[in-house]
A and B are shown apart, each in its own frame.
Chain A
Amino acid sequence: MVPDFLTIAEAATLIEKRELSPVELTQSRLDRIEKLDGQLHSFIRVLPDEARAAARAAEAEIAAGRYRGPLHGIPIGLKDIYETKGIPTTGHSKVMQNHVPAADAFSVAKLKDAGCVVMGKLATHEFAFGGPSFDLPWPPARNPWDTTRFTGGSSSGTGAAVPAGLVLGGTGSDTGGSIRGPAAYCGLAGIKPSYGLVSRAGILPLAFSLDHAGPMAWTAEDCAIMLQAMAGHDPADPASANRPIPDYRKALSGDVKGLRIGLIRHFYTTDNKADATTRDAIDSAAKKFAEMGAEVREITLSPLAEWAACGVLIMMTEAYAIHEANLRTRFTDFGEIFRDRMALAGLWTAADYVQATRRRRELVDELDRAMATLDLVMTAAAPSEAPKIDEVPKFAIMERPSLTMPFNVTGSPAMAVCCGFTEAGLPLSFQVVGRRFADATVLRAADAYERATPWRARRPPL
């Protein structure tokens, strides 16, 4: 009997020792998808035959002594903006519902090379931006902790499927918070890696200069395992960095002694005021880091609204340029949320875009200066628990300044880490952020925190 919940690290240990069969593990996840996904809608396409075939192949290889590593035989899901050879990749949109790619995205090929079993394509907000929407060909994913709640977006299917144990890990993308938002609201771990670390080639774009691809999983350790496979230079992505990839799992020392952490408290106490429960949870996490031997001090940056304006303006205008032709000819084939946000994006001028990119340089410099004497900064990942799914405003991203967008603007590695639950049992989360390409330090701090706190022991009551 395969347990309902396993981390990637736990399953990998059992698979390597041949105490867990990838075929049985995969079938157990398919059974769980069959049982639960009617409530969660985390998948828009399940691939049972392909998954069983991949699991059989993994099992045969392992039996023949060719164990590839900790992702061999591990069931994962792919956000449906990651292109998959011969399998539709839709962006959760009517506009691309018949798009069948000729090749896998670079990162998908790398995950398959590492031995992953792809279970299917996961829900997203339309083109990683517009949602939650009820007027698309597939329903929006639901929060596994309370299915009346929002998952966060845009990597909504991954946010729902991992905590529910439908997959052990999955892919996300993050242009303004689309990995960290669902990770926060659904209580899992998700890292937006440094810009340039994971190739964007073969991933449907939202905004070229802000798009980051990355893993989402139950723990920081699992994210480290997935990031190890996904990271690496790709000449097909003009922003792909060509630099050595460290051993992320090896960096998980379990301690934070000596790390210098800047707490950006005004982001969530003044600029986008979090509720008291969230504030207390984040302040407690900062205190925990201090108790564990980190040096924590409060820092002040420019107001959050300035970071958010810079990022949102760049994101929406780049997205408008990408979708302009279809917006002109097929406006109502897009969902209402996506198309109306895009209509607003069209109102900005070319000069506005250039001013935003000039502001971006200033803000990048500002964070670099602040981090000259710091290893990490931390702040809130969301201002509250997940809201009701039918109470998310159409223009939410413009109404309140995003807590996650600043680190898309700077290209910094940033991770959402669960730091408790509300009385109603909904997850709370903070962000930990590193210097560019110091992804290993971010994972180290997140992993140490998870090991020192009880939050990873709790799963959704499905």
Chain B
Amino acid sequence: MTRVELDAALARLGLDVPERERQELVGAVGYVAEMARLVKKPRWVGAEPAHTVAFPIGAFPSGAFPEK
């Protein structure tokens, strides 16, 4: 991401980032791209997200979720 692209992204977010900090952010945006790359794996189209983690049966008060 170039400095111009970063400025545009921050403007879209509505963040008033001081000039000195923008220079540092340009140097760190690579981490954002790398992490986004790492979570994208070839996977079946129907592979579900984890909303949190799998809840054990009976984890919720009676009636909140039907138990299988």
Residues of A bordering B, CB below 8 Å:
195-196, 209, 233, 235, 239, 241-243, 305-306, 309-310, 312-313, 327-328, 331-332, 336, 339-340, 343-344, 346-349, 352, 354-362, 364, 394-395, 398-399, 410-411, 436-437
Q: Which of B21, B52, B54 counts the most chain A CB atoms within 10 A?
A: B52
Least CB distance, B29 to chain A, in whole angstroms: 6
Known: A195-B52, A243-B59, A340-B24. A327 touches B15 (CB 8 A): yes
Q: Is the CB of B9 within 8 A of A347?
A: yes
A145 CA to B8 CA, complexed, in Å: 46
A239 CA to B51 CA, complexed, in Å: 11
The DSSP consensus for interface residues of chain B is loop
Least CB distance, B24 to chain A, in whole angstroms: 7
Chain B 26-50 interface 0/1 with A at a Cβ cutoff of 8 Å (1 = within) = 0011011011101111010001111
B66 within 8 A of A: no
Q: Is the CB of B15 within 8 A of A359?
A: no
Known: A196-B59, A395-B31. A346 touches B39 (CB 8 A): no
A346 contacts which of B9, B21, B48, B55 (Cβ < 8 Å)? Answer: B9
Q: Which of A305, A328, A346, A349 counts the most chain B CB atoms within 10 A?
A: A346
Q: Is the CB of A361 within 8 A of B48?
A: yes
Known: A235-B61, A306-B38, A347-B9. 8 other contacts (CB 8 A): A241-B59, A310-B38, A331-B16, A355-B36, A355-B40, A359-B38, A398-B28, A411-B52
Residues of B bordering A, CB below 8 Å:
1, 9-10, 13-18, 21, 24-25, 28-29, 31-32, 34-36, 38-41, 43, 47-56, 58-61
Least CB distance, A190 to chain B, in whole angstroms: 20
A313 contacts which of B39, B51, B53, B59 (Cβ < 8 Å)? Answer: B39
CB-CB under 8 A from B43, the residues of chain A are: 358, 362
